[in-house]
Amino acid sequence: MSEPARPAARPSRWGGVVRVLLGVVGGVLLTAVFMTVMWWPRSEVLHRAEAPASVVYEDGSPHFLGLVHRHTLSGRHDYRLVIGRDPGLSYGHWVDVGAFEAVEGVQSTAWTAEGVRVRFRTGHEVFVPAEYFLYGR
């Protein structure tokens, strides 16, 4: 004798929902990783200067200045002067600089007790008062 036919097992609705949710979560994670890689800045120091020993600031620390070019894989470029106590220029007071001035380069830096003056080859000058970069700012 043959056995009676069993009804076909219905696939669970939850299996499909779980797959869709996993796909959405995976897509969000891949997008986040992609955006992080594309917008993560890389830095290059184009010019570096150190305050001369003859200029002593009230915080008693040596001070450094750098023209830093930051760029990303997506093509964004920005330039900034970083001034502070960190010789690696990873923190300190910073001032955005236009690409035209930055690409032409720094002609000179003049450190005084009042601050630092940066002259670019374009003729433009930037003066940063000492109060903005003293004491680790």
The C-alpha angle with vertex 116 and arms to 98 and 48, in degrees rounded to 5, equals 65
pLDDT score at 80: 96
pTM for this predicted structure: 0.70
Order of strands across the sheet with 125-129? 106-112, 115-120, 125-129
* Local mean pLDDT, 10-residue blocks, the chain (137 residues): 67 77 92 81 93 95 96 88 94 95 96 98 97 87
